[in-house]
Amino acid sequence: MSIIVYILFSPSLIVFIAAETSSITLSQSLSYGKTLVSPSGIFELGFCNLGNPNKIYLGIWYKNIPLQNIVWVANGGNPIKDSFSILKLDSSGNLVLTHNNTVVWSTSSPEKAQNPVAELLDSGNLVIRDENEDKEDTYLWQSFDYPSNTMLSGMKVGWDIKRNLSTCLIAWKSDNDPTQGDLSWGITLHPYPDIYMMKGTKKYHRFGPWNGLRFSGMPLMKPNNPIYHYEFVSNQEVVYYRWSVKQTSSISKVVLNQSTLELPENGQSLYIRLPASEIDKPKKNENIERQLEDLDVPLFHLLTITTATNNFSLNNKIGQGGFGPVYKGKLVDGREIAVKRLSSSSGQGITEFITEVKLIAKLQHRNLVRLLGCCFRGQEKLLVYEYMVNGSLDTFIFGHHNESGNPESNIMLDVEITKSAIR
């Protein structure tokens, strides 16, 4: 890899990139007609237009796909009118795009680097980092935190709660206009993490909560997929979803435009069209899963619950209530749960079960065990609560501890009190 240096007669020294490279430093800049190419030649960053030569954008695209396939645009709402543009790192380590010495677009990072480098990675992520650091958690800034209408393999959609940063896809106004449209696709936090398509500030289409294996409203997200790996993380600092391609030879992306959400499925593109006339339209003969997806609590996959409770092992059983046994379990994210397995002899159907879940969800209180979700599969009807080790509701109400000395029976009391409160 070589760099040819040109010196211009100006008050400052500018080094222009003339040969293929993946990064620029403080002493270098990128001009119109020049590009950065990721190390393996997968992605390219440079100046482009979308059919209108008078509107120029700084963008990233697949290098070896014949048609220019834009996956990210920096200045979508502020196009440049001609080719007199330069991208460079300033003294604070931020990328700055200028046109005739006027700032068109720039990054903003509170963190500083002694020797900042801007690099285009093979993932399609444009990052700013210290030249001696290359781990993701040391990036000062990354384009994956600020996507446009495309989600690439390894990109996160969700929330960085500590930074109050929401990462979501935002549709372009049209294929030739990367100005932000009114449709977005991302995660809402309240009352539970859930994926929604939003139209402005209104919920436009629901994809359902995470059930431990996939989002309940996206049945094509199959576990043990040979091509894709799905991940969902939810804790006090971050809530995000991402997918990644298991084989780097595969090219996949999610694209949101004003009428279509394009999802990767089995190495090809799957188009889900969402015309306004069909969004949230009630349908006759809704299946059971669709009814459950309308609940305001997460819907757990049965495999998630059986794994957490060791297939409802007797060693995990912590009590027996009037409507069925309770099992202790542990989710893959480390959370401990108490699972109420409703007895088939209770005579409760799906309608009664849904009604019960809705009522329990409305009874959430700091002194009541929190309902985390539910599961309905075949004859199984399960209520999933948080597991509280230290104390129970009787301690709050009556001011004494469980006389049995068995903290597990506290769960039974909390579950039964919540149950009886809605009867």
User: What is the pLDDT, as a whole number, of residue 415?
Assistant: 41
pLDDT score recorded for residue 79: 95
pLDDT, residue 404, reads 43
pLDDT computed for residue 160 by the predictor: 93
Q: Quote the pLDDT of residue 102.
A: 93
One pLDDT digit (tens) per residue for the chain, 423 residues = 322 222 222 333 344 454 579 999 999 999 999 999 999 999 999 999 998 989 999 999 999 887 768 999 999 999 999 888 999 999 889 999 999 989 999 999 888 888 999 999 999 999 999 998 888 889 999 999 999 999 999 999 999 988 889 999 999 999 899 999 999 999 988 767 888 888 888 888 888 777 766 777 776 666 677 788 888 888 888 999 998 888 766 678 889 987 766 655 444 443 444 444 433 443 433 455 555 556 667 778 787 888 899 889 999 999 887 778 999 999 877 889 999 998 766 666 777 788 788 788 777 666 677 888 888 777 788 999 888 775 544 444 444 444 444 444 444 434 443 344 444
10 CB neighbour count, 10 Å cutoff: 7
Q: Which domains does the chain have, with CATH numbers?
A: 20-146 (2.90.10.10), 148-276+413-422 (no CATH), 295-391 (3.30.200.20)
pLDDT of residue 37: 97
Element (H, E) at 37: strand 36-37
- 395 vs 368: CA distance, rounded Å: 11
Q: Which of 14, 46, 5, 30 is nearest to 88 (CA)?
A: 30
Which H/E stretch holds residue 357?
helix 350-362
Strands 141-142, 238-245: pairing kind: unpaired
Q: Rounded to an integer, what distance in angstroms lies between the CA atom of residue 381 and that of residue 354?
A: 10
Q: What's the one-letter identity of residue 383? A: L
The predicted structure's pLDDT at residue 5: 25
Q: According to the model, what pLDDT value does residue 78 have?
A: 95
Whether the bond between 191 and the residue before it is cis, its omega within 30 degrees of 0, is yes
| Residue-level pLDDT at 355 | 79
Which candidate, 333, 338, 151, places its Cα nearest to that of 239? Answer: 333
Please work out, in degrees rounded to the nearest 5, the angle formed at the alpha carbon of residue 20 by the alpha carbons of 17 and 23: 65
Q: What is the pTM of this model?
A: 0.65
Residue keyed to tokens 């599969």 = 377
Question: Residue 286: CB partners within 8 Å, gap ≥ 6?
Answer: none
- pLDDT in the model for residue 228: 82
CA 65 and chain centroid, separation: 27
Residue 295: CB atoms within 10 Å? 19
